[in-house]
Amino acid sequence: MTVTKAVEDLANAFRRLSGVGPKTAQRYTFQLLARDRVAAAQIADTLKFAIDHVSHCKRCNNFSESPTCRICASPSRDESKLCIVETPADLTSFEDTGVYQGLYFVLMGRISPLEGIGPDDLGINELMETLSNHPVKEIIIATNSTVEGDATAEFLTKMLAKHGYHATRLARGLPLGGEIEYMDKGTLIEAFQRRIPA
């Protein structure tokens, strides 16, 4: 925009969001300054507050405003189980199912050479510290079923084995409601090879 510097600076700041190009950054800037200054203030304020107050739970590495998060602090969780997930959103997905009552560890990402994220950029040191302070009986590696998620899971499996831990991973196969006609080859091959008693 051939406009004032403050507007250009704001559009450039929005471009730092992943997946946001010049057009989207311009759209956000225009909307907030021309039509919705209330939303603008809301974003600025909540962002500033989060920067100042949100850190990581020292046990599970999830976002937390207190040193230990609500889940890790809960007395009703099974401390003998640890489920390793990529992101807080993945944790929420499992919590929504109610299938799991153990604790979590949030890697805050996955190994991704394209994004320049190696093992050292994930919370591996924090994971090992958590394991030495709170030994667990079962570790479930619940990374995404993607190339990057699988690479992360393999790295974790090897590393945990070195320290004497045996981990499990999520089952692979047809998702519920999955129609074979529309399923990708990889899933069909896994579903065939890992077939279960009828």
Q: What is the CA radius of gyration of the chain?
A: 21
Cβ-Cβ contacts under 8 Å for 134 (sequence gap 6 or more) = 59, 79, 103
Binding mask 110-149 toward a second copy (x if CB under 8 A, else -) reads ----------------------------------------
User: Should residue 161 be labelled a site residue for a second copy when binding is judged by CB under 8 A?
Assistant: no
118, 108 in Cβ contact below 8 A? no
In the list 21, 58, 59, 63, the residue contacting a second copy (rule: CB under 8 A) is 63
53-58 contacts, C-beta under 8 A, 24 or more apart: 56/108, 56/123, 56/126, 58/126
Q: Which of 82, 83, 84, 91 binds a second copy (CB under 8 A)?
A: 91
Residue with smaller CB distance to a second copy, 63 or 165: 63
Give yes or no for a contact between 176 and 166, defined as CB atoms under 8 angstroms apart. Answer: no
Residues that bind a second copy (CB under 8 A): 1-7, 9-10, 12-14, 16-19, 24, 26-37, 39-51, 53-54, 62-66, 69-71, 87-89, 91-92, 95-96, 108-109
